[in-house]
Each structure stands twice: as structure tokens, then as C-alpha cells.
Chains A and B, each alone.
Chain A
Amino acid sequence: MVLLQRPHILLLLIDTHQFLQCWIAFGSANEEGQQQEEFSEELLVKPLPDHKLLAHFHFQSSAPPSTSNGCHHHLFPKAISQLVQKFRVKEMELSFTQGRWNYESWGGFDPISSSNAKPPGVELWAVFDVPQHHIDASWKNLTHTLSGLFCASINFLESTATYSTPEWSFPPASGNVRYGTFPCEAVCTENLTPWLRLLPCRDKAGIALLLDRPSLYRGFYHSQRLHLTSTESSSEGIDSGIILEQTLTVVLQPNSERAIEVHASEKHVQPSWSLSSIFGKQVSGRCVLAKSSSVYLLLDRGLVAELKFPNKENGKSAANGLTSENFWSNPSFELSVNPDRIFLEESSSHSKSLSILYMFQVEKYSESEPFDIGLMWKVPVAWLCQQTPLHASRFLMGSGNERGAIAISLKSTQFTEGFMSANSKDGSCELRVDVFQVVPWYVKVYFHSLRVFVDQQPRAVSDFIEKIHVSPSKDKMSPGVMEVVLKLPCRVNTAALTIEFDKGFLRIDEYPPDANQGFDIPSAIISFPNFHASMVFLEDDSLNRSPLLSKFQDKCPVMSYTEVLLVPLTTPDFSMPYNVSTIKCTVFALYFGSLLNVLQRRVAEEERFLKAKAAKKTGRLPLLLSKLSAKLRGSGINQD
């Protein structure tokens, strides 16, 4: 019964969809051809050097400008378009992340890592197209809307003490950016479900079918991201409407029991995997509403360079050997499905070898013949992912709960060595590093204590810091922001920035429920604006370009996030409010009472003198009063 019903619904959906598309096409016949809502789904799988697997889901929906389409949507989520219209969001990115991206073994110099490796917890930034004095109000409303939309505590970013205004170090450089992070947010399925609800097919069909919750959250790294670009209200250039880009990046450990059985002796062999073994599900056809639906397998530059080796021994030309159609029966690995197409990267400036992309069209598959690719390694391979020019890490110095120091250390990687050797001819080679650091107000940073260490030698700050922008923190009002542009010589081995801070003391009700756990300092963003992570693949037809691949071609600067720091703060005794108030007030009463007593005390002789004086001066009123009091006293005694 169910089997019978499903195709009907699908057919109905297809029909509706086609009808709508026709209708839209009819409605906008006079305008440009691309004025319709589009949706595409893609999945990129990439083996990682440390026996893990990266899966990167990319869903993109776009809506034409509302001027041509009104506020009715067919594919595009209405909640998002309303949000864009209401708060006039120009660009926005929201990410939920669990785990930490391992820059050393998973690489940092490719489009995936520089735009999808995110700091733990929630990160939100937005660019608004409203006058300067309305931005904060828009931001507040946006955080509340998003927290309702995604069932997350994004509304904590509402208070001015949690978000900041980066001046120039943040990529979409302009004064209208607001940036906030909430590192201690626990990301779970309750955040994923509303995220999936924005997709036209949810997780009922297409590639999203693979999103099996237990296997996703079993991974080492999990980051779901929502990127929004709107050109609705921009005055300049093309009006392309709203583009919503939803990505989910997971790093998983393939279940490789079989591999261990077979190659028990060899530990270096990569685990073999298939989509069904990782996710426990298979793709049964595409989401019918999607314009394109494809799965990619990316082989890293480093991996390709390693794979060339056996070919070279055979005396063949490496590139030819790899791109040849019968590559799946390669000596080093085996693919379970024939790829539909193979792309080879255009030569890049930073690396000698080129990466390879296999494309699989999901459209061909159906429920009866589900899509499932598998990769079987035959020989052990070891390679390294391309890393950021400098590996950044951050740590705390000092002990005790009074003060400390934050240190950001930059270490050269194998990349810098290559870069340096390439540029060694001209002596004045410089490496530009941007550091963006936000510290919450209770970490009171002394900006005058900024020190620079290059190759472990303390150096003058002005020699290496080209530009610095600081906005000091205000207690309970705004966080401290530090933006630094470092110019380092290319031959640098290590560089470090240290800055001292005092730990603040909070009021008793400002501590979170588990106060002794500590407080998070959000990740610093280290970016290398002179380096761009982009992958340009040779394509024949530029018209039918996939959004994921065009995203790869964008020149985005290489960025990496440092670790989140956990700062323990001193706590007061939480059970003491009444005791403290009573003891304190007692001491004050003691002071007040005893001092007044001393001041108005008269010794016996003085008293007598005063009495005599009073007796002399007795007028009518005192006499009356004394009589009255005597009477009262007398009556009191009588009553007793």
C-alpha cells in the first residue's frame, strides 16, 4: 500500500512543481530567464589522512527578488525570506558546531576548511542594510527570531556584552557587521530538525535522506551552517534576490572492521567505506524539487600526489593515468560505482599537484536501485592535507584566579617552507596575518601589555604590528575587541602574541548555574588575506555549473579559528547573601551607635549642670510636658 502510494505523491509533487515552474516562467516571460526559485543538493565526500572521512552536504536555495515575485514562495523557505525582509539582512551566517576542526590533519588551505571549519557552539554574524543607529535593534530582533527558528539559545547574543562590531578584520568588511559567538551552546538534533525543515524535501528524499541522526552525532566534528546573501535592497549591481546556502560538514570514522581483518598486519591502510556503511542509509533518488542533485568524491592534492607514485614507476604520465576512464580499477583503490564525470583541478599557484573530483549523478538512481558509492583501498597510502601558512593555537598563561595572559602562537607549517623557498629570491617577503579577538568583559584585558615574540625573542610591538584596532571592554556593557594586522617575515618559525588580563568578579546572580565550570573566551579568528583558498575545476559547460563547485572557485581568504579557552573565575559563596547582609549591617550599626553614644554622652557633673540650667529656665511648655509625663507614668502604674 505504502509502496503504491508513494509514487503517486511524488508524481503529484512533480506535476505541481512543473506546473508552478511553467506558471512562473509564464509570469516572468518578459524578464531574464533566471528569475525563478531554484534548489540544488550536493554531497562531497573526501577521505582524510587520519583514517577519517569528511562529508560535506551543500543545499542551496535561491529566490528571485521580491519585486518580481511578490512574497509567495514555492521552494524557498518563507521564514527566511520574511526574516530578510523584516530586518533588512544583507548577509548573514549562522553556524552550529560541535567538536573542533583539526587543522593539522584535516587541512586548512582548501575552500571547505576555510569556510566550514567553525568555532564550537553558535557563531552568528550579520550585515544589515539599515541606518547605523538601527543596527543594534535589528540585531536584537534577529537573534530572537533565529533562536525561535532554530530552538537554540541564540537570544543570549542579544545583550550588548556578547556581540561586537568588527571594524575591518572581518571578511565582509563594513561598519554594519555584528558578530557574536556563544561557545557553550550544546548542539543537537533539536537544532538540526528546524534546519532541515528549510529544505523543500526535508530529509524525506534526496541526499538529505542520508542524514541519519545517530551516525551524524557519532562523528568527530559536526557543523551545520546557514549562509544567507540578499541583494534585495542593495543599490549597486545585479539584483539576484536571496541565496540561502545550507551546509552540513561532518567528519566521521568509517566503520572499518573488514579492512582490519584483511590488512591486520598493515596499520597504514585507509579504511574502506561506503555511504551505507557510514550513514546506515542509501540515497534512493534525488529530491524531485532539486534542479541538480549530485555526489562528489574529492581526492586531495596531497593524496593525488601520493597516488601518482605507482603510475610513475610504470612510466606512464601521471595525469593521464588518473583521468582515464577506467580509473576505478586503479591499483591503489577501487570505486564501487562508475563516476559520471571526472574533473581535474586547474593548476594552482600554491601546489604542484592537482586534486581530482569524481561526480556521480543521483538522478539515475531510484528507490529500487539506490545509490551507494564505496571506496575500497588496496594499498596503504599516507599523505598530508594542505595546511594554513601558519598554524595558530591559543592558550592561557598564569595560574590562580586573579590574573593571567592569553597567548596566540603561530607556528610555521610545511606550507610556509614551500612558500618561502618559492619566494626566497626577493628578500623582502612578508606574510600578512590578521588576528581578530573578542574577549568578554569579565576578562579585563590590558591592551598596553601586548607583546610580540618572533622566533621566541621579545620584539618591539611596532616592528611587526602594522595596524591595530582596539575597542576596550566596558563592564556589563560591551566586550573587548582587538583587531591586529601582523606583518611577519616569511622565514619566521614561530610568532606569538601575548596579552595580560585581570579576571573580573561578578555579582552572585550573574554566574551561570555551574559557576565553577568556568567561562569561555570565544575563538580568535586568524586569517591570511594574501592567500586564497580556491579550487577551480576544468569544466566544459559553464552554464550548468553546480553551486558547490562555483562556491569552490570563490576567492575566500584562508581563515582558521583557534581553540575556545575556558577561564575559571573566582566564585563568591553562593549561600551567603543573608549572612553577608546581616553581618555587614550589624557592623554598620555598631559603628553608628557607638560613635553617637560617645558623642552625646555626658558625665555626671555635666548632667547636673544641664539640669540646673534647665530648672532655671523652666518655662511653661517643659513644665506642662513634665506634668503630662508624670501623669502618664502614674496612670501606667495604676493600670498595672
Chain B
Amino acid sequence: MEKLKKKIRSFSFWNWVIASIIFRLILIYFPKNLNLSSRPEVSTPLTSFRRLAEGYWLKQSSMSSYAGSMYHGSPLLLSLLGPLTVKRIEGQPNHLLYSLVSVIADVVSAMLIRATGQNLRLAYLRGLESLDLVKQIDVSEFLFSGDIAALIYLCNPFTIVACVGLSTSPIENMAVILCLYGACSRLIPLAAFGWVIATHLSLYPAILIIPVIFLLGCGPDSPPRKLFLQRHQQKEVLNQSKLPPGFSWGPIIHFAFWAFLWSVYVLVLCGISLKQFGGLWEMFKSTYGFILTVEDLSPNIGVLWYFFAEVFEFFRNFFLIVFHVNILFMILPLAIRLRHRPCYLAFVYVAICSMLKSYPSVGDSALYLGLLGWFVNELADMQFSLFLFCGYVGVSLLSPVMHNLWIWRGTGNANFYFTTAMVYACLQIVLVVEGVSAVLNHDRKLRIRITGKPQDAKS
């Protein structure tokens, strides 16, 4: 019976994967009608396909690809994906090869998410076992979070749009997922590679180093360590083998070594490709500098563009610092409270970054929504989940309408579009806050089960 259930599950999983790939291919075959690659939701100045093509054209005509203020991506991406922007196959859509690369990146990310999810589920079950809670909680009710997360990632309209819209975010997302996968399955060189590449491509994943350190130091998500100690105090036997391992520095030093190696490697490669132009300094100025100073004020689904278009020049630097420090401020409190759940911590960081980053796109949302699938069991009691779902649907329908009214028809104005961006930011805030609160409550519940005091389940 159990086997059959598993078979059906895995069969339907692969069905969904294939269906989502076919759906992508169908969309790729009529890109002219969709024109997704120039939607502000899909292509930001950092991920735009047209800017990539422009950068490659400049490079081909022996100019620095950073000569104008068009291209702000990595030189490595240019050498890898650049040739695909001009390559054409007769009788096929223009950018078929490039789209195929995006589809492959999506599928690889989904598979890595699935593997990590299974890993997390095993770790979680092991934790429950060592707390002797397996009897109290029905394990068969436990959802296969890896499959769910992978399917959420693959079938999410945001992911599909980012993939078909030829943006570079599938590649960036893949690097982030590679990093988390490597850290979860203790493939330290892979984790270091993912982290270095993700940081190189879009800067914000740099803060993922904290969850990665926790992952390597004390293993994947588990109930808080305090609970184990309490449990053993109750039983009055200190079984060391059942306790989760403490923090170990070995893998972290190993990780630091590999991260250093990979970043030197990446910088050397970039240096070689930019040798005859400005060198690395120019690259940092027009990639990281461009991200941090919010120079491009074209509308996107974030909230910074309108703010910096309207704010007085005098205050510009002040607010730049405030908004970027806002991301950094939350790192420490979250790390303290969620240190026993490094993967969840990584999810929260990714969500916060995609909310507060200077040029967000739906590709970033696709990433954290996919990662959300890992924690379906922990987040089962989350509040406002229906409200959030409806909010996401509503915003993704209204935002293009408002953009159309403002830009194309001229009947609306910028405030219309900005309102949807504001609502979107609020939804993300609610998601993060409620998510964090749900996980903390989940841990509390576990403790109550151990100590056997049913009162004050929820505050």
C-alpha cells in the first residue's frame, strides 16, 4: 500500500515536471506575441536580455561591455551566454538556444530543490525520532516537502515568465540553490562555488554565508538544541549519540578555503576578460556600484525606483544608506532566533533581499516561493495564507494593468503602478513576518509536547 502510494506520487511528480517543461517550450515558440523580455516585471537593468545582447555587441566591436550604461552583469555571463544572443537557427525562434539554457537551468534548480528537500525531511524526521515524538505525530501525514518545493518552483507562473522572458534570473537562482544544496549535502566545494557565483552575479546572496555556516557547522534544520537537552534531562539519561552534533569549525574552515579559491578563480577570469578595458575596478563600479547606488530609475516591482525618482537630491545618499542597512540590520536578530534552522534562515534572507533589493524582478520572488515549499510541514499553521495567496494573484494581475495605463495609454499615472508595488512589498512583509512567527510557534509546540504542558500554545 505504502509502496503504491509512493509510486503514484513519484509518477505524478514526473508528469508535472514534464508538463511544465512542455508549457515552457510552447511559450518559447511564440515569443513575439508575448514580448515578455521587455516587461518591467521580468527584465530589470541587471537581468535584461536586451542589455546582455547589447553588452555582447559592444564586446564584439572591441569596446568594453561596460562602456555605456547598458550592461551591468558579469563578464563571465557575457562570455558564456553572449554568443547565444546572436546565434540563430533557420526556421526556429530567434533566441531558441538561450531559452533552452534557461529551461535547463530551471529544471536543474528544481531537481536540486527536490534533493535538498528530501534531505531536510530526513533530518527533520531524525530530529523527531531523537525527541521520541514520532509516536505523537503521524509521520505518514508528513508531506514530501522536496517534491512540493520542486513543483512549486517549476510550475510557478513567476518562474515560467522569468524563464520565457529570457532574463538571467534562472541562472542566478540556480547558483543560490546550488549553494544551499551543497551546504545541505555537505559538498563543501560545491557550496563554496554556488555562494561565490551567486554573490558575483547579484551581490545580495553574499549574506547567505551565515546560513551556510550554520548548515555546515551543525547540520540541516532540526528542532532547537535546547529541546534535546531538556528531553534528556527529563529522561535523566544523557545519551550522547542521540544528541545532535554541536557546532564544529572544521567544515567552515574548509568552506572558507574553497570560497577563497573560487573567488580568486572568478576574479582572475573576469580580470582576463576585462584586461584591455577598465579592469576589475570598472566591473565592480558598474555591477556592484550600480546595484548599490540605484542609478536606473526605470519602473520595476520594487519600491526604490519611485522613491529615488521623487526624493530630493540632498537626501539621496542618506536614504541609500538607510535602505541598504535595513537588509543588514535584520541579519543578526534572525540569525540568533533561527540558528537551529539554517535553511529556513536562508529562505528568510532570500525573501528579505528580494523585497528590499534595488532592482527586484519576479525571478527573485520565484526563488523564495520555491524555497517556501521546503517548510510546508513547519508552516502548516501559518496565518493569512489564503490572504497572501489572493494578494499575490491580485498584484500580479493588477500590476501589468497599471503599468499599461501609465506607460502605454497615458491615462493613469505613476502613482497607480507604485501602489501595486507598495502592495506587493506589504504582501512580502506579511509573508516573512508570519512565516518567521509560524516557525517559532512550531518550535514552541514541539517543546510543549515534550514537557507535556498544553497551555499557552499560542501567544
Contact = CB atoms under 8 A, between A and B. Distances in A.
Interface stretch (A326-334, A380-388, A484-492, A599-607): A599-607
Contacts of B444: 603, 606
Q: Is the interface on chain B under 10, 10 to 19, 20 to 34, or 35 or more residues? A: 35 or more
Contacts of A600: 333
B309 A505 contact: yes
A402 interface: yes
Contacts of A23: none
A400 B38 CA distance: 13
A435 B360 CA distance: 39
Given A570-B414, A595-B433, A474 B68 contact: yes
B414 A591 contact: no
B426 A572 contact: no
Main DSSP-derived SS at the A contact region: mixed
A447 B54 contact: yes
A368 interface: no
B296 A587 contact: no
A601 B333 CA distance: 12
Given A401-B407, A447-B57, A508 B309 contact: yes
B88 to A, nearest CB: 12
Interface string B390-424: 00000000000000001110100111001000100
A115 interface: no
A577 interface: yes
Interface string B306-331: 11111111000000000100100110
B455 interface: yes
Interface in B296-311: 296-299, 303, 305-311
Contacts of B295: 475-476
Contact of B310 (A580, A588, A602): A580
B50 to A, nearest CB: 6
Interface string A455-481: 000000000000010111111110010
A598 B298 contact: no
A444 B453 CA distance: 65
B92 interface: no
Contact of B307 (A571, A581, A601): A581
Given A573-B413, A581-B311, A594-B433, A444 B330 contact: no
Contacts of B53: 446, 448
B406 A570 contact: yes
Contacts of B26: none
A505 B57 CA distance: 24
Nearest to A448: B57
Interface string A491-503: 0000000000010
Contacts of B303: 584, 587
Contacts of B56: 448
Interface string A435-452: 000000100101111000
A441 B296 CA distance: 12
Contacts of B426: 587, 590
A400 B408 contact: yes
Contacts of A570: 406-407, 414
A580 B334 contact: no
A473 B436 contact: no
Contacts of B406: 570
A473 B71 CA distance: 12
A399 B408 contact: yes
A598 B337 CA distance: 10
Given A507-B297, A587-B303, A587-B429, A572 B54 contact: no
Contacts of A571: 413-414
28 contacts: A400-B407, A402-B38, A402-B407, A403-B38, A446-B54, A449-B50, A472-B54, A472-B69, A474-B69, A480-B68, A505-B309, A509-B313, A571-B413, A572-B414, A573-B413, A577-B311, A580-B306, A580-B418, A581-B311, A587-B425, A590-B426, A594-B429, A598-B433, A599-B334, A599-B440, A600-B333, A603-B456, A606-B444
Interface of A: 399-403, 441, 444, 446-449, 468, 470-477, 480, 502, 504-509, 570-573, 576-577, 580-581, 583-584, 587-588, 590-592, 594-596, 598-606
Interface of B: 38, 50, 53-54, 56-58, 61, 63, 67-70, 295-299, 303, 305-313, 323, 326, 329-330, 333-334, 337, 355, 406-408, 410, 413-415, 418, 422, 425-426, 429, 432-433, 436-437, 440, 444, 453, 455-456, 458-459
Q: Across chains A and B, which 8 residue pairs bring their CB atoms closest together, nearest first?
A: A472-B68, A448-B57, A400-B408, A603-B459, A475-B69, A505-B297, A598-B437, A591-B429
